[in-house]
């Protein structure tokens, strides 16, 4: 990949840069993504669950459909984080647009960060993959997609090959315009 000028602001799930922010206090560092994009991107790492005050470690959460609405809830306590995550995500999206973010790398499968990979459960059959109603965006990612519809979004699993990473870099440059 050829470098051109200043580094581009790109958001990324904090666990992918190696921060131990997951519910179990671990990370999901992705060395291939970090090393290949290092000359080009200025990472803005964001952990929505920590930033809304869930703490580390924390109870796992999941997406549950209740009376036609998708809710973000604790698996055991059923504590409902939906409204808090929504308002936080809207504010974060506005801030990212303001600072000129040009792409976002998100953690696959996360009820907050995932893109079309997150199981949605029926309330009566929670935490059982066999009765998942389907897969959808995580709650935070959904707001990003709606608020910034043209922003290049990828899960880390979409960037497993050099060709996929190159295509993402091109999409980010095109979105960013000035890079
Ligand atoms: S997937 Fe998102 S919410 Fe979960 S630990 Fe990583 S950054 Fe935080």
Ligand 1 pocket mutation, candidates 11, 18, 22, 155, criterion most atoms within 8 A of CB: 22
2 within some domain: no
1 CA distance to ligand 1 centroid (A)? 28
29 within some domain: yes
Residues touching ligand 1 (Cβ under 6 Å) are 13-15, 21-22, 47-49, 107, 110, 112-113
Alpha helices in the chain (DSSP H): 31-37, 48-51, 82-98, 139-147, 162-176
Burial of 77 (0-12, 13-18, 19+ CB in 10 A): exposed
61 within some domain: yes
28 within some domain: yes
136 within some domain: yes
Residue 23 in contact with residue 15, Cβ under 8 Å? no
Question: pLDDT tens, 55-86?
Answer: 999 999 999 999 999 999 999 999 999 999 99
Say what percent of the chain tops pLDDT 90: 89
Q: For the chain, what is the radius of gyration of the CA atoms?
A: 16
Q: How many residues does the chain have?
A: 179
80 within some domain: yes
Q: What is the 3-state secondary structure (H, E, C) of 80-102?
A: ECHHHHHHHHHHHHHHHHHCCCC
- Name the residue range of residue 121's domain: 8-176
State how many domains the chain has.
1
User: What integer best gives the mean pLDDT of the chain?
Assistant: 94
Residue identifier of the C-alpha nearest atom 8 of ligand 1: 47
3 within some domain: no
Ligand 1 pocket mutation, candidates 13, 27, 53, 118, criterion most atoms within 8 A of CB: 13
Q: Give the pLDDT of residue 9.
A: 98
Question: pLDDT tens, 1-37?
Answer: 555 578 999 999 999 999 999 999 999 999 999 999 9
1 within some domain: no
Question: pLDDT tens, 50-63?
Answer: 999 999 999 999 99
What are the residues facing 119 on neighbouring strands? 135
What are the residues facing 136 on neighbouring strands? 118
Q: Give the pLDDT of residue 132.
A: 87
Q: What is the full DSSP assignment across 149-165? A: TTS-EEEGGGG-SHHHH
52 CA distance to ligand 1 centroid (A)? 12
């Amino acid at each position: 990949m050829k470098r051109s000028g200043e580094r581009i602001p790109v958001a990324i799930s904090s666990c992918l840069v190696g921060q131990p922010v997951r519910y179990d206090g671990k990370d999901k560092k992705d060395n291939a993504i970090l090393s290949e994009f290092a000359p080009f991107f200025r990472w803005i790492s964001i952990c929505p669950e920590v930033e809304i005050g869930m703490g580390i470690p924390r109870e796992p959460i999941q997406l549950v459909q209740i009376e036609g609405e998708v809710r973000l809830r604790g698996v055991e306590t059923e504590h409902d984080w939906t409204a808090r995550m929504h308002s936080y995500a809207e504010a974060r999206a506005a801030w990212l647009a303001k600072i000129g973010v040009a792409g976002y790398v998100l953690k696959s499968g996360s009820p907050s960060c995932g893109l079309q990979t997150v199981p949605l459960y029926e309330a009566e059959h929670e935490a059982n993959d066999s009765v998942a109603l389907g897969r959808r965006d995580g709650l935070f990612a959904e707001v990003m997609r709606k608020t910034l519809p043209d922003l290049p979004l990828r899960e880390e699993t979409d960037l497993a090959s050099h060709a996929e990473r190159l295509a993402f870099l091109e999409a980010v440059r095109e979105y960013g315009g000035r890079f």
